[in-house]
Structure 1
Amino acid sequence: MEHIVEERPPYDPELVALLEAAFAELVGRYGAEGRSRVKVGARYFVVLDGGRHAVGCGALQTFGPGSEHPGDAELKRMYVAPQARGRGFARAVLAALEKAARAAGHPALRLSTGHRQPEAIALYESSGYARTDPWGKYVNEPSTYCYAKVLEDEIRLVLQ
C-alpha cells in the first residue's frame, strides 16, 4: 500500500499533536534531556493513514551558511504514532523527506538520533544512512548518533 505524504504548515493541528506526542515519548526515553522543544525553521511533512488522519511526521531543516555542513539538510522531528508503527509509515515519510531534499538541491541529508531509539537507528541504517562524526551541539553528546546520506550520488546515478 502506498502511503500519502503531505507537506503541512508548522501550526497544523494534526502535526502539532504528533510533535507533542513525539516530545512526550522522548521524555519517557531520556528523562529531562528529552524535553527540548526548540522550534525549528523547517518544512514539515505528515503521512496519512488511509488518506484520512496524520499518523506520522518529519521535517527538513537547511544547514545555513557558516555551519559545518552548508547546503545540506537535516532530518528532524521523525515520529510515528505507536498504533501506526510497523506499517511502513516511517519509511514513507523518510522517502518524502529525501525527495524534497533532492528537489531543493541539497547534496546530503543528515540526522541525529539517540542511543535509546533502536528502531530509528535500524530504519536509518537500512535506508542507506551511514554513521558520521558528530557535529554542532552533538559533538560532546556520546548518547547521540549522527548519520548522513549523500543525495547527489543518487541524482547522478539516475541521470547516467
Structure 2
Amino acid sequence: MPVTIALERPDTADAILLIGELEKYIVPLYPHDKEHGLTQAEMVEAGVVFFIIRSDDKPAGCGGVRFHGTEYGELMRMYVRPEYRGHGLGRLVLRHIEDYSREQGVKALRLKTGIYQPEALGLYERLGYRLIQPFGSYREHPLNRYYQKILL
C-alpha cells in the first residue's frame, strides 16, 4: 500500500471529508467543548499548514499545524480514518509535521486533546510529547489534556 503525504489547503474536498469525520467522532465524546477546532475557512485565514496522508491514493488521515511565530506550533485536526488505524499512519503524519515545523525554525509543538482518545494519548507520549498546563486561550478541564514537545 503506497503511502503519500501532501501539503494541501484545509478546504479541499478530501480535507472537508476528513475533518467532517473527525468532528462526528469527537463531538459526542466531548460535549462540554464548544470549540472542537477551527472551521476550514478559519484554518485558511489563520494560515494553518495542513497535510493529508493517502494510502493507495485514498485519503486516510490528516493533520495540521498553526504557527505562533517560532515559539511554538499548535497541532490540530490530527485524524486517521478507522479503517487505516494500526498501520502507523498517525505517526507518519505527526513526524512529517514535526520535520516541517523544525524546517520553519519552530521551537516546540503543542496540542490539546481529550482523555477519551487513549490511542492518541499513547502516540503523543511515545513520540516524546509531555503534559503541560493549558496554553493560549485554553482553560483547564478534567476531560482535556495539553501536551508539548520541544523540537531540537
TM-score computed with the length of structure 2 as normaliser: 0.87
For structure 1, which runs of at least 5 residues remain unmatched after alignment? 65-69, 153-160
Q: Which runs of 4+ in 1 moved over 6 A?
A: none
Aligned with 1:105: secondary structure?
A: coil
Distance 1:32 1:112 in 2: 14
Give the partner amino acid of 2:145.
Answer: Y
Aligned position for 1:150: 150
**Residues 56 and 80, structure 1, Cα contact 8 Å, conserved in 2:** yes
TM-align CA RMSD: 1.8
Does 2:47 correspond to 1:54? no
**Residues 30 and 143, structure 2, Cα contact 8 Å, conserved in 1:** no
Aligned position for 1:110: 110
Identity score, percent:
33
TM-score computed with the length of structure 1 as normaliser: 0.83
For structure 2, which runs of at least 5 residues remain unmatched after alignment? none
Give the partner amino acid of 1:43.
Answer: V
Deviation per CA, 1:54-104, whole angstroms, max 9, x where unpaired? 11000010125xxxxx62101100001111111111011001100110011
Does 2:49 correspond to 1:43? yes
Change (3 A) 1:37 1:102: closer
The equivalences for 1:125-144 within 5 A come to 125-144=125-144
Aligned position for 2:71: 71
Distance 1:100 1:2 in 2: 21
Aligned position for 1:93: 93
